[in-house]
Structure 1
């Protein structure tokens, strides 16, 4: 073993040791939820999420935090990228340009409403902007990306925390509330998937909510949600230019979208062998289950309430209006 290779292997081993406790806990909860789902005929994603709620107090333990964070971000992105293996152009043909029209209508409306509502509530403009983008596009990732291009000192860390915690909690609650609500209102699986993909904040939450209804609803929800995620990069660049910051900021490009698109194209062209496709779909499902456990453990109602009622009101009203905009856009473009 060379002297140059030894430090790298040691760093790799240290990273594994640091992530192992949290990852192991998430995997155990995912396995437990899957076992219960098979015996009680209940959606596994829902049961894993509820088990995560039950272990939320463990998320504060420094030994498991790195692994939980890893599962809620990196494992999520792997799972979403691999979802491309189960989707093809036939799903797009079902809905045509409708998801794009709905997304391009709802995203700017939501951001505009957040800015106006935040001003009325007496919140800083930058907090309202971050909250609006987080709700309109992709939750925590969007909030952090936008905060990175804001001028230094324009947004306090505690206000960013209020947005991060708030969108996580509300996104998780929407997973539980929206699917049965849309089914009760008589929306088809395709329509419900489109609305869920438009109105739920996080990628995993939108996909999970869709798959609680059906596979087709989950596929459409994921496709629609990824359209919203794709708007993050141009929006962050635009905000950086408008705010005239001297440096671009440390934003994170959603590379998992490229993996999703590559597998989507391969599957559409019929170039994915069936055994490989089935294996990738199974891995993707497992990744989403592990992510659900992590999201459940990271949900803290207490941390949200500690920020006061104004940030909660801003996020809650904006989130509800996003669903209203989605329903209105769907009715408008299908009439």
Structure 2
């Protein structure tokens, strides 16, 4: 019995030993980025990504490379699966019908616009898809979730990072610009909150922008934004099935999406204890931070800048279109 177990234990030990240096470095960078984010009020994912850039030369080291690759793929999928613990059907119910109509109108229009504009610009379709979903739903988390279901080789990591950096920067900028703009245009607090929740990429950014207007605007912005986040579950599952269909014998079924869906259902039914939910959400954040460190290490800034102005232009125009779609939907469904 012991003799049978020894080969398996030996293989496990060898795999852990091979992955340890790279994984440990990603974890250290994730912790450092989180520490800096808490003290300077900057998004942790962006800081970890920047720290990863600083260690890009280490990623090619044969001792570090296996662990960094593991974090950029397997840990990414674990983090996406655990995202299901953040989302529940109660978010759909809490915001009422008007935000639901606005969001359902804006999200597909924004993704379609990104695909069309990306094709016109000559960008890869997978990069345009990731950019559209990132803008339409929830920024970096959505970009990472969609990237996880794209078959290997169809999206270069530098192109994913172009979306991550761009959508983070635009989200921060919109958080500062949109509140005074909407107030100047004469929108009420509730209307401004709905538009901010429908048009700003990250949950924290949307909530912060809403509370810059008023408490009422902040509450509505948060709920509307969470409604967009709730659409991530069905969209990622749909994209996973569609994108894997054409891969023939090489296709991998995205099993981690079943974990995403299971946690989403458990959370919606209220069967996740509060303590367990907090642990899963924290674990998801930790996995995504480690993933961002790995992605940063696997991409050189030179390769990122070499992509030119087109990726940023795509994100900028798509973000402005999202605000226009939200404003038009609000005017249409309010009457």
So what's the TM-score if we normalise by structure 1? 0.71
1:43, 1:212 within 8 Å by CA — same for their partners in 2?
no
User: For 1:193-208, what aligned pairs fall within 5 Å after superposition?
Assistant: 194-195=198-199
In structure 1, the partner of 2:279 is 279
The question of 1:321 aligning with 2:317 is answered: yes
The question of 1:233 aligning with 2:240 is answered: yes
Q: When the two structures are aligned, how many residues end up with a matched partner?
A: 294
Residues 113 and 235 (structure 1 numbering): CA distance in 2 closer, same or farther, change over 3 Å? farther
User: For 1:1-335, what aligned pairs fall within 5 Å after superposition?
Assistant: 1=1, 4-40=4-40, 42-93=42-93, 94=95, 95-118=99-122, 128-137=124-133, 163-186=156-179, 191-192=195-196, 194-195=198-199, 209-211=202-204, 214=207, 216=222, 219=226, 222-236=229-243, 240=246, 248=248, 250-305=250-305, 312-335=308-331
Gaps of 5+ in 2: 134-141, 183-191, 209-221
DSSP 3-state at the match of 1:96: helix
1:159-192 deviation digits (Å, cap 9, x = unpaired): x67x542332232232133223234212767655
The Cα of 1:39 is off from its aligned counterpart by 4.3
The Cα of 1:294 is off from its aligned counterpart by 2.4
In structure 1, the partner of 2:138 is none
In the aligned structure 2, how far is the partner of 1:224 from the partner of 1:40?
Answer: 31
1:21, 1:67 within 8 Å by CA — same for their partners in 2?
yes
Residues 101 and 277 (structure 1 numbering): CA distance in 2 closer, same or farther, change over 3 Å? same
Residues 173 and 297 (structure 1 numbering): CA distance in 2 closer, same or farther, change over 3 Å? farther
Gaps of 5+ in 1: 119-126, 149-156, 198-208, 241-246
Q: What's the C-alpha RMSD, in Å, of the aligned pairs?
A: 3.6
In the aligned structure 1, how far is the partner of 2:282 from the partner of 2:24?
Answer: 19
1:14-33 deviation digits (Å, cap 9, x = unpaired): 22122111110111122223
In the aligned structure 2, how far is the partner of 1:140 from the partner of 1:280?
Answer: 17
Residues 327 and 299 (structure 1 numbering): CA distance in 2 closer, same or farther, change over 3 Å? farther
In structure 1, the partner of 2:216 is none
In the aligned structure 2, how far is the partner of 1:190 from the partner of 1:7?
Answer: 59
In the aligned structure 1, how far is the partner of 2:47 from the partner of 2:309?
Answer: 29
So what's the TM-score if we normalise by structure 2? 0.71
